[in-house]
Structure 1
């Protein structure tokens, strides 16, 4: 029986080893490789790579932060690597990072079109959009978030209410070992859900639990080699089976959830009384003088961006926080002593308490520094030819800022590899650090920074007010990293011992 080419290629793909597939791909593509990449005479240094594939084999996608730091030691604070036809520049050190994100902020204002992301989002949403469309969508999102509580007492009340639900859910564990991942994820997600969707989800809601699990799967899938290979050869890879196809199906599942929620909002919309972000956007769509970037596709992807970003980063940071508390009981004790002195047990923490709790505030910042959940920031792209540190940077170059190196720089931190809240204290008072940039800086800094800061302080303080976190008996907790869209701790179990006052 004759096998068609359409069936044969996927069969070969599924049966072949990774090494043979990469070799075959290189041979086939070499036939179409007409000329080598022309480098500018004054281009940043970097490791030599293969034709077509570039430095693909030199990258460890399971622990990319280690590979990048090794290259940084060898080539300095600015170097370039290639992944297929993507030119990828890495910049380290506070002066150069400020040069890129502040001094040349308009030059590096755009996001690059990474194929695996472009396949899902095209140019829609808040994270990957560029130009006038990005400005319009970001401006509208910020205005709407403020209208629904960002920076106001109403949002703080939502977080404090959710903290009560979270405490009760953890109390039900009765001090036995449990994985806090889902409860924390649900609690944090409920804050952005209340703003975007207009309501929270119960912790036992199986459908929402499945949705959060899908988001987690997406983050883990993006680092798999087939998804990275899609970035090199999207035209070929889109016809082949593999992890990248699973990733796209997962994204479609989350997109369908958002589309369903939007459909429900349309059915009972009252334009005079918008309840949440979706209502406000639908009201905007009804205007006659609407901007061209406002459409239902952008509504879907802006909502998706807010939901994803508003859930993952803060949730992961809090999971790192509980892990560090269990591993550093003396630091946990100091935080609890400050909580008892300033707040006590008769009332919940408020944002007004933060000013009087320098040690707790410092500990939250140190969790962010050590957790290092977005090690290379969200990438930028040069919109015109420019010069950085004397090197030529051509238009279209993708650039990332090395936050790992910045947050572990021995010149900036007394004990860079050790969890130490004293990094953010001076004479017992909290001290801001210029070299601390978990939310980035400049025009494309994190849209939800204010929300994230409030969530981190209130959730973290509320949990340590009510519980002492410990490793399960005869268990060694690990600080090893699980690499995905963010750097998260490996799954762990912990004991939350109710505090007897």
Structure 2
């Protein structure tokens, strides 16, 4: 009985402390719904329709309001004008990258996507320059894309018009283009190693967007002490890193610094140039994480865009018919499309842009940090606050808060 009383007393103290902390913080923040201890406003948010939940809150509290994700206070900027003012009017202040616990577990602050400071900025600059040298954004990469597109078409033809889920091969195509840039390889779609790599990438993407992952990001203690899909994420990530490390080792053994073949060669050459610098960011660990960033960022986004494009063209057959008519007129059936065709195909170009606008491929953007104290619409957002950009909402968490991209 004494033990039960002690536990009840401890829990009561924790709840009172949580309520006091929330109350003292709320007095300095924009208005918002009253949070509950521990869970905050989670119970008031429909996780299946976050956007609508934010819209409903904005009708009550205005375009700038406060929510609590667990015990983490979050300022929400809702609507085009508020987001534009934050990202354009205060672009530098809102340019930091926020921390996501489930990523911190595996990335350790390395790479481009989830790191802060001058080092990742330099690494990002190097990566963009290197990708440009390798043809990304130029016509020189066109042949690789055309070749992979042909492999994709041939794979689709094998279905003979039968019902078929193209998700896997739609992942293979962009992943193969990325592989050719990173380590001069493309794989057959039935290659077991390649299939395993694709499966791990797809599984990790599903885990990151799951409710459990978001709960872990709000309550990081769960990552260390609870079983769950975050452990699968870690296992898959480690497996991908091991594969990339093996590729790096192969490149190191055949490296010709005067004639780099791909992204890994360029990075290893830069690493050799910086070998006298103890603070160099060009390390093997940074390379493997950066390669993973390229895989994750390039494969899933393009795959998802193509899947939605197919679905939308099926839903609107009259649009698909007009696109096909323009393709037949400008390109015909005997050759692959090229970048030069774009100017002669305004309807197809408009359809592609409308698909990208319509699907809203990343409504829950990556978290960012405010790099200094920012006064925004008469509210002070402290330095190192986090925010998330949604399709029509910008979330700003106070210092020390941690949250995933979504709920």
The equivalent of 2:285 in structure 1 is: 297
The equivalent of 1:449 in structure 2 is: none
The equivalent of 1:403 in structure 2 is: 391
Distance in structure 1 (CA, Å) of the matches to 2:14 and 2:217: 15
Shift of 1:284: 0.9
Distance in structure 2 (CA, Å) of the matches to 1:271 and 1:485: 39
The equivalent of 1:385 in structure 2 is: 373
Distance in structure 2 (CA, Å) of the matches to 1:94 and 1:485: 19
Aligned counterparts, 1:27-46, within 5 A: 30=15, 33=18, 35-37=20-22, 38-39=24-25, 41=27, 43-46=29-32
Distance in structure 2 (CA, Å) of the matches to 1:60 and 1:216: 25
Shift of 1:296: 1.4
The equivalent of 1:306 in structure 2 is: 294
The equivalent of 1:334 in structure 2 is: 322
| Unaligned 5+ runs, structure 1 | 1-22, 407-483, 487-501
Counterpart pick for 1:138 among 106, 124, 134: 124
Query: Which protein has the bigger helix share?
Result: 2
Matched, 1:355 2:343: yes
The equivalent of 1:184 in structure 2 is: 170
Distance in structure 1 (CA, Å) of the matches to 2:372 and 2:317: 51
The equivalent of 2:158 in structure 1 is: 172
Is the 1:91–1:400 Cα contact (8 Å) retained in structure 2? Answer: no
The equivalent of 1:207 in structure 2 is: 193
| Unaligned 5+ runs, structure 2 | 1-7, 395-403
Normalising by structure 1, we get a TM-score of: 0.72
Is the 2:146–2:336 Cα contact (8 Å) retained in structure 1? Answer: yes
Shift of 1:354: 1.1
Matched, 1:323 2:308: no
Shift of 1:189: 1.1
Is the 2:374–2:381 Cα contact (8 Å) retained in structure 1? Answer: yes
Structure-2 change in CA distance of 1:161 and 1:28 (3 Å): farther
Is the 1:224–1:243 Cα contact (8 Å) retained in structure 2? Answer: no
Matched, 1:394 2:382: yes
Is the 1:92–1:403 Cα contact (8 Å) retained in structure 2? Answer: no
The equivalent of 2:42 in structure 1 is: 56
Count of aligned pairs between the two proteins: 386
Distance in structure 1 (CA, Å) of the matches to 2:140 and 2:150: 16
Q: Render the CA deviation track for 1:46-88: whole Å, top value 9, x for unaligned.
A: 2221223222333444443343343344433332322234333
Is the 1:274–1:280 Cα contact (8 Å) retained in structure 2? Answer: yes
Distance in structure 2 (CA, Å) of the matches to 1:374 and 1:133: 26
Counterpart pick for 2:182 among 196, 208, 211: 196
Aligned counterparts, 1:228-239, within 5 A: 228-239=214-225
Normalising by structure 2, we get a TM-score of: 0.87
The equivalent of 1:457 in structure 2 is: none
Shift of 1:41: 4.5
Distance in structure 1 (CA, Å) of the matches to 2:192 and 2:52: 37
Distance in structure 2 (CA, Å) of the matches to 1:27 and 1:225: 28
Shift of 1:40: 6.0
Distance in structure 1 (CA, Å) of the matches to 2:216 and 2:13: 16
Is the 2:77–2:83 Cα contact (8 Å) retained in structure 1? Answer: yes
